[in-house]
Amino acid sequence: MEFVGSVVTGVATLSQTMEDGRRQMVGLLLPSDFVGRPGREYAAFNVEATTDVTLCKFARKPFEKLLNDMPHLRERMLEMALDELDAAREWMLLLGRKTAREKIASLLMIIAKRQNTLKPIENVEELKFELSLTREAMADYLGLTLETVSRQINALKKDGVIELERKRHVFVKDITRLLNETGDDADGGYFE
């Protein structure tokens, strides 16, 4: 853990593994996300790139010094940490209480939302995006098996909620329809 930084392009994941190989992703690192933890020597989680990733990197020690000199930076860091905490807690609801289908729909919504930061998602009628995760990575993120992920994605496709092109390109004609599949309150979380 000699560096901290932030993702510029690409997708990386943050995960934990148990001794017997069970694996849970605990964070998705998309462009603009911060990587690493100031004030701690060791890395608590594994970071892995799933696509080629460009990082904007700082040596940790000088960065910590910078934090002391620039109160604004620490304020920003606190804000980011609290936002991540909220996101982690949303994810806890998903892992603990949602069905497989709701989990998939929620993940698609999150990726869709992150790839479309230009305008609020409720004003977008249709949406096309790239799924830069393998079925296995999605499974590890959602607490499912890759077979279940595959089956549920195809079920959503069969039901006309999404369309697929070459396995990794998703096309959503009606976002409200997908949102209804997430199990979330219509006005909570995704529309902000």
Partner DNA sequence: GCAATAATTTGATCCAGATCAAGGCAGAAC
Partner DNA sequence: GTTCTGCCTTGATCTGGATCAAATTATTGC
Contact 192, 150 (CB under 8 A): no
Question: Using CB distances below 5 to 8 A depending on partner kind, what does residue 39 bind out of DNA, a second copy, none?
Answer: a second copy
| Those residues with Cβ within 8 angstroms of residue 8's Cβ, 6 or more apart along the chain or in another chain | 31, 54, 55, 56
Distance CA 126, CA 176 (A): 10
Which is nearer to DNA, 79 or 136 (by Cβ)?
136
Q: Of 10, 14, 150, 164, which lies in the binding site for a second copy, with binding defined by CB under 8 A?
A: 14
| Contact region with DNA (CB under 7 A), list: 26-34, 59-67, 142-150, 176-184 | 142-150
Residue 141 neighbours by CB distance under 10 Å:
24
Residue 152 contacts residue 141 (beta carbons within 8 Å): no
Side-chain-side CA neighbours of 192 within 13 Å: the count stands at: 9
- Of 143 and 156, nearer to a second copy (C-beta) is 143
Q: At how many degrees (to 10) do helices 146-158 and 135-142 cross?
A: 100
Window contacting a second copy (CB under 8 A); options: 55-63, 73-81, 112-120, 153-161: 73-81
Q: How many residues bind a second copy (CB under 8 A)?
A: 41
Contact (Cβ atoms closer than 8 angstroms) between residue 141 and residue 13: yes
Counting contacts by CB under 7 A, is residue 53 touching DNA? no
28: β partners: 13
* Contact call for residue 51 and DNA (CB under 7 A): no
Residues that bind DNA (CB under 7 A): 99-101, 134-136, 143-151, 153-154, 164, 166-168
Residues that bind a second copy (CB under 8 A): 14, 16, 18-19, 22-24, 26-27, 37, 39-40, 44-45, 68, 71, 74-75, 77-79, 81-82, 84-86, 88-93, 95-98, 142-143, 183-185
